[in-house]
Structure 1
Amino acid sequence: MAEMKVNFQNLKNSSLPTWLGLVFGSWVGLVWGSLISAPVGIGFGVLAGSAFGGFLAVPVWGTVWGLVGLGRQRENAIRQQGIKLLKEDDPLAQRVYALASQLGLKTRPWVGVMPHNNAYAIGAHADAALVVIGQPLIDSMNEAEVDAVIGHELGHIANNDMRRMGLARSFQNSLVWYLGFSQTVQSWGRWILTWLSELFVLRLSRSREYWADAIGAALTSKEHMIGALERLHHGPELSEFERSNARLMFRGVAGGSLLSTHPTLEERRAALQAEIYLKQIPLLKNHDGRPLQTPVSLPKAEDIAYAKSKAE
C-alpha cells in the first residue's frame, strides 16, 4: 500500500504566534478593563500603573500553569478516564505508528482505547502525546474511516494544537483569576473580559478542527474524512464525559454558534470538498512535482480489531 507523505518540516505548527497573541490579548484586556472602570479624569499613567502588575503576572502564570497542566495530561488521562493503553505490538497501535510516520512524526504516541464513541489527542508536545480511539467508533466504521479519524488526531499532534489550546485556556484562567483580585476593574468589566476570552478560545478550537480534518484527509482521502464525520454525526448523543471535554474531542459541541467548540458537519464537509485547508498542507514531492507516495508496512487486515468486527 502507498500513501502520500506530509512534509512535516514545512508544516506551520509553531505555537509561538499563538502565545504572542495571548500575551498581547491579555495586555489589551487589562488596559481596557482599567479604562472602563477608572473614575473620570484619572491620568493614563495611573491606569497603566494599575494594570502593570498583570502585564507580567498573567503571561507568566498562563505560560507556567499551561505547560505544567499539559505535562500531566497524558498520565492523568490514563489514571482517571478509564483508558485501556495498548501495547506497541497491538495491530491498532501499529496502524497509528504507520500513519504517524507518513505524517513525518519522529516519535510514537501512546495509543489507547476508551468506551466513548469519539476520539481525541492530548499531550504537551509530539514526544509526549496520547491518541485515544473510542471502541464504539472502531466497531462502527470501516478501516479507511478509522484511519481518517486517526489521521485527524495525529494532525492535532503535528500542528501543536494541544499546546495552543492548553495555553489559551490557561491564559484565560490566569486573566480572570488576576482580575478577581483587582481593585480597579469592576465586576461587570471582569464579566465582559471573561466572555470575550471564552469566545476567543472557542474560535481557536473551531479553526484547529479544520486543519486537523485536512491532515486526516491528506493521509487518507477527503471522501474518507467526510465519511467518518458523517458517521459520527449520526451516532449517539454526546456522553457527559464527551461534553465536559468537548474541546478535545473529534466530535464536539457543533451548534453553529459562537459558543460551539467545533464547526458544524456542513461546514467541515464544505471545507473538505473545496479543499480550503487541504490545499495548504505541504506534501513531499517527486522531482516531477507530483506528491510523493511511499509504501507503508501495515498490519494484515484480519489482525486489526476494527477489521475483525466488520467480518464477524
Structure 2
Amino acid sequence: MMRIFLLALTNFAVMTVLFVTMNVLAALFGINMSRGSMTSMLVMAIVFGFGGSFISLLMSKWMAKKSMGVQLIEQPSNNQERWLVETVRRQAEKVGIGMPEVGIFYSPDPNAFATGANKNNALVAVSQGLLQNMTPDEVEAVLGHEIGHIANGDMVTQTLLQGVLNTFVFFFARVIGMLIDGLLRGNNQENNGVGVGYFIGSMIAEILLGFLATIIVMWFSRYREFRADEAGAELAGRQKMIAALRRLQQAHGVHELPGEMAAFGIAGGLGSSFGKLFMTHPPLEERIAALQNAS
C-alpha cells in the first residue's frame, strides 16, 4: 500500500507541475486557455493514462495463461513437478509472500516469467526448454529470480510508472497542440474551437513524448532485472544464479517472450547500442558482471 500511495503522490505532483507549466506557457504566449477545459483534459489524461495500465495488470495472469498456453501444476504428476512446486513454496515462504501458482508452458527456448496483480496472487511459469536445458541448481536460481520480481512488487511498480508516463504523454501532448494551434492563429481568435494545428501538433508531440516515456519504462525494466538477479542469488546461491545466466548465454536460440510478457521473462538483452535504450533486459554479460562484482 505504501508503494501505491507514494507513486500516486508522485503522479499528483507531476500533474501539478504540468498544470502550473501549462498556465505559465499560456501566459507567456498570450494564449487563452480556459481552466475548465484544462481540468477536463487533466482528468481525462489520468483516466486514460492509468486505466489501460491497471486493466492490463488485473488481467495479466489470465492473459499470460492464455497467450503462453501455461499448464498449471495443480496436482504434481511427477518428481519434476513436485520439485518445482516445493522449490517455489520454499522461496515464497522465505521472502514472505503468498504461494504463487506454478505452471509450465511449451517453448524450446529456456525462459520463465512471473506476473500477477499483487504479491499474494501471482503466477510463476517456466518453459519446457528451460527444464530440459538447465540443471536443477540453475532452475532453482531462475525460480528465485522470478520470486524476486514478485517480492519486489515489480509488476505493480511498473504498472504505476507506466500510468504516470501515459498521463504525462496524453496531457502534455495536448497542451503542446493547443500552444501550436494558438501560435498559428496569431491574433485570429474568432473561432474558439481547436484548429488543424492542435491535431497535428498533439499527434507529433504524443509520438515524441511516447518515445521518451518508453525509454524510461525500459530503463526501469532493466534496473529491476539486476534486483531480481540479486534476489535469485540470495534465495538459491550466487554461483547458481551466475551459472543460470551463463547457460542462457549459451542458448543461442533464446528469444524474448511475445508482447507485454517480454518484460517479465528471465531471458533477453540482445540489441544494438541504440537498441539498448528500448531493451527490457540488460545484456547477460552485464548481469553476470554485476553479480560477480557484488560477491
The CA deviation at 1:168 is 2.8
Higher helix share: 2
Checking the alignment, whether the CA contact within 8 Å between 2:53 and 2:163 is kept in structure 1 is yes
The residue number in structure 2 matching 1:114 is: 105
Secondary structure of the residue aligned to 1:14 is helix
Q: Identity rate of aligned residues, in percent?
A: 31
Q: Structure 1 residues 40 and 177 mapped into 2: Cα distance closer, same or farther (>3 Å)?
A: closer
Checking the alignment, whether the CA contact within 8 Å between 1:14 and 1:159 is kept in structure 2 is no
Matched, 1:93 2:85: yes
The residue number in structure 1 matching 2:54 is: 67
Secondary structure of the residue aligned to 1:126 is coil
Matched, 1:148 2:138: no
> What root-mean-square deviation, in Å, do the aligned CA atoms of Structure 1 and Structure 2 show?
3.2
Q: Which amino acid in the other structure matches residue 114 of structure 1?
A: F
TM-score (norm 1): 0.72
- Pairs within 5 Å for 1:23-38: 23-25=12-14
The residue number in structure 1 matching 2:277 is: 258
Q: Structure 1 residues 242 and 189 mapped into 2: Cα distance closer, same or farther (>3 Å)?
A: closer
Matched, 1:42 2:30: yes
Q: Structure 1 residues 15 and 192 mapped into 2: Cα distance closer, same or farther (>3 Å)?
A: same
Matched, 1:14 2:21: no
Checking the alignment, whether the CA contact within 8 Å between 2:50 and 2:166 is kept in structure 1 is no
Q: 2:228 aligns with which of 209, 212, 216?
A: 212
After TM superposition, the structure 1 stretch with the greater mean CA deviation from structure 2, 263-272 or 154-163, is: 263-272
Q: Structure 1 residues 176 and 108 mapped into 2: Cα distance closer, same or farther (>3 Å)?
A: same
Rounded to whole Å, the distance in 2 between the matches of 1:29 and 1:138 is: 49
- The structure with the largest alpha-carbon Rg is 2
Checking the alignment, whether the CA contact within 8 Å between 1:35 and 1:47 is kept in structure 2 is no
Checking the alignment, whether the CA contact within 8 Å between 1:33 and 1:189 is kept in structure 2 is no
- Pairs within 5 Å for 1:169-248: 169-177=162-170, 183-184=177-178, 186=201, 187-239=203-255, 241-242=257-258, 245-248=261-264
Q: Which amino acid in the other structure matches residue 83 of structure 1?
A: V
Give unpaired runs (5+ residues) of structure 2.
Answer: 179-197
- Pairs within 5 Å for 1:159-174: 159-174=152-167
Rounded to whole Å, the distance in 2 between the matches of 1:251 and 1:238 is: 7
Using CA pairs under 8 Å that are at least 6 residues apart, name the structure with larger relative contact order, 1 or 2: 1
Rounded to whole Å, the distance in 2 between the matches of 1:240 and 1:262 is: 9
State the number of aligned residues. Answer: 262
The residue number in structure 1 matching 2:189 is: none
The CA deviation at 1:30 is 7.2
Rounded to whole Å, the distance in 2 between the matches of 1:195 and 1:35 is: 25
